[in-house]
Amino acid sequence: MCPCFHPVECVIPEHMLESIATHGTSAQRQAALNNIRVVYQLRAEQAMRASFKGLFDSAIPRAINNEKERVIYDAMRRDTLPGTVARREGDAPSSDPAVNEAYDGGGTTYDLFMKEFGRNSIDNRAMRLDASVHYRTGYDNAFWDGTQMVYGDGDEDLPTDERLFNRFTIAVDIIGHELTHGVTQFEAKLVYSQQSGALNEHMSDVFGSLVKQYQLQQSASEADWIIGGGLLTGNVNGVGVRSMKTPGAAYDDPVLGKDPQPAHMRAYVNTVSDNGGVHINSGIPNHAFYLTALEIGGYAWKKAGQIWYTALRDKLSESSNFQQCADLTHQTAGELFGVGSLEQQAVQHGWAAVGLTVSESGGKPKPSGCLEATLRFIGAA
Amino acid sequence: MEFTQIKFERSGGFANIRITAELNLRDLSDEQAIALKELLDELDFPKLPTKLTSGETVPDEFIYTITVETEKWQHTIIADGVPKDAKIQELLELLNRLARKKMRNL
Ligand SMILES: [Zn+2]
Ligand SMILES: [Zn+2]
């Protein structure tokens, strides 16, 4: 393993490439190469995490009473985080709607994870839910920075008739989406690039949408499955930024362009933009989840959500790809509801409809001989 | 720095609305052109490393790709939304404002 902590600078030693090149099929060689890239990045991150673990863990702010605790800050349109405290747990509502949306949305997300999945906050150890609103000016984004949620106000700095976005706290599924990035950071740790990155995005969309459905008490067939509903202004021809029900159909607008999400493996988008299309190809697993939940019926968080949450917590790992996600959610459904159960069949049908056939063993595919040898060579297996 | 064209792309972000623009001198006011040229000079743009990412990936942060072309050379940098350098930040924000404006005035 190379000694530095800069994944982008890592290079695969030539002798290792040669050794791969003399083994296996070309598909195996390609798989090995792809995996080496991910493994290199992981090992650098793991080494860094391990060396700071004690520090990080004690630095995480946690609720004093081991329950829900939210702190909403106002960044006052500056880029310094977190900003000034605007509302603490138990405080009366603020006069600022963004503060209240961040507070309420964080609360609903906490409740869904706690009451339905038995998870106590982001780290399952009562991590305090910190969020900052009014981040920068003209900031048309929301993100999870590793420790807190951050929300911009859209393009509020432009004249009304040119604005495309409203404030990013306006949709509760955006809040659920960002919080779930935190959950993923503590569980599967899906690397934010290519297929594992699209799965990271997928999980955030799944639980984001479930937070909205939970808040509205909607069944799978009643829900709109739109991500970011209400985020786009009336100047845009669109209902949101993504659709799990109909990926690719959320918006089609002269200024924004067309929703680029595929709904099937045959339309998978290869791109260097967006960390390898993490917000684009997530349309494929998103649609598989939607179909699964619809086939099972009822409230989507009760069964489909339970299957996906368990897979995220116990089965998926840093470099998981779409096929592995299909296999592992199928395996999880078998464990939770029985092999051959209607729930497990629904998972199989969901993935099949987007072009992924779950493997019968339902387990994690064993690395091929060449890949295994290569991983052993660099000390990853 | 006498550039002929600047290509700008912003991808990623929660909404993943791609913003792209090819900015030529004629797209810019004199003031904007001067501000840009000064920034590129101060940054010594052609000597900047290609990757200006912070190392740890931040979910839903933006990714920027900027290519500056002059008569003599062209150079591309990729930066994420959290560059440590204030001048880079200034360049990203200026280009984003210009690209955003151009995009809305199709
Ligand atoms: Zn390295
Ligand atoms: Zn995201």
Reply yes or no: is the peptide bond before residue A254 cis, omega within 30 of 0: no
Asked if residue A143 has pLDDT above 90, the reply is: yes
ipTM of the prediction: 0.92
What tens digit of pLDDT does each residue of A252-287 get? Answer: 999 999 999 999 999 999 999 999 999 999 999 999
Rounded CA-CA distance A71/A148 in Å is 10
Rounded CA-CA distance A268/A348 in Å is 20
What tens digit of pLDDT does each residue of A58-72 get? Answer: 778 998 888 999 999
Residue of B nearest to A80 (CA): B82
Distance B54 CA to ligand 1 centre (A): 14
Rounded CA-CA distance B99/B23 in Å is 8
Q: Which bound ligand lies closest to the C-alpha atom of A184?
A: 2
Q: Which bound ligand lies closest to the C-alpha atom of A37?
A: 1
Instruction: Please confirm, yes or no, whether A202 is among the known catalytic residues.
Output: no
| Confidence at residue A29, expressed as pLDDT on a 0 to 100 scale | 52
Closest Cα in chain B, distance from residue A151 (Å): 10
Of the listed ranges A227-231, A348-352, A359-363, the one predicted with least confidence: A359-363
Residue of B nearest to A182 (CA): B59
Beta bridge partners of B80: B63
Give the pLDDT band of residue A240 (cuts 50, 70, 90): very high
> Structure tokens of A371?
């890949």
Q: Which residues of B touch A81 (CB under 8 A)?
A: none
| Confidence at residue B81, expressed as pLDDT on a 0 to 100 scale | 81
| Binary contact (A141, B56; C-beta < 8 A) | no
Instruction: Please confirm, yes or no, whether A178 is among the known catalytic residues.
Output: yes
Closest Cα in chain B, distance from residue A23 (Å): 32
Catalytically annotated residue among A89, A178, A187, A295: A178
Q: Which residues of B touch A143 (CB under 8 A)?
A: 13-14, 58-61, 81
What tens digit of pLDDT does each residue of A21-30 get? Answer: 445 555 555 5
Residues of chain A above pLDDT 70, percent:
80
Rounded CA-CA distance A380/A365 in Å is 16
> Structure tokens of A381?
């297996």
Asked if residue B2 has pLDDT above 90, the reply is: no
When divided into structural domains, chain B yields a total of 1
Q: Which residues of A touch B81 (CB under 8 A)?
A: 141, 143
Cβ contacts below 8 Å, chain A against chain B, sum to 93
> Structure tokens of A32?
């090995």
Range of the domain at B91: 5-104
What's the average model confidence in pLDDT over A210-223? 98
| Confidence at residue A42, expressed as pLDDT on a 0 to 100 scale | 47
| Confidence at residue A24, expressed as pLDDT on a 0 to 100 scale | 52
Residue of A nearest to B9 (CA): A273
| Binary contact (A255, B58; C-beta < 8 A) | no
Give the pLDDT band of residue A366 (cuts 50, 70, 90): very low
Residue of B nearest to A254 (CA): B106
Q: Residue ranges of the alpha helices (H) in chain A?
A: 14-21, 26-59, 97-111, 117, 172-186, 194-216, 273-277, 283-296, 304-314, 322-337, 342-353, 369-377
Asked if residue B27 has pLDDT above 60, the reply is: yes
Catalytically annotated residue among A177, A279, A287, A330: A279
| Binary contact (B59, A144; C-beta < 8 A) | yes
Q: Is A168 on the interface with B (CB under 8 A)?
A: yes
Give the pLDDT band of residue B103 (cuts 50, 70, 90): confident
Residue in B14, B104, B105 to test binding to A, most A beta-carbons within 10 Å: B14
| Confidence at residue B17, expressed as pLDDT on a 0 to 100 scale | 92
Rounded CA Rg of chain A: 21
| Binary contact (B17, A164; C-beta < 8 A) | yes
Give the pLDDT band of residue B76 (cuts 50, 70, 90): very high
**Under 8 Å CB-to-CB from A9, ≥6 apart: which residues?**
none
Q: Residue ranges of the alpha helices (H) in B1-106?
A: 30-43, 86-104
Higher pLDDT, A11 or A373: A373
Asked if residue A39 has pLDDT above 90, the reply is: no
What's the average model confidence in pLDDT over A287-300? 98
- Give the one of A168, A200, A228 whose C-beta lies nearest to B59's C-beta: A200
Of the listed ranges A25-39, A135-149, A313-327, B78-92, the one predicted with least confidence: A25-39
What is the set of domains in chain A, with CATH numbers?
70-170 (3.10.170.10), 190-377 (1.10.390.10)
What tens digit of pLDDT does each residue of A174-216 get? Answer: 999 999 999 999 999 999 999 999 999 999 999 999 999 999 9
| Confidence at residue A57, expressed as pLDDT on a 0 to 100 scale | 73
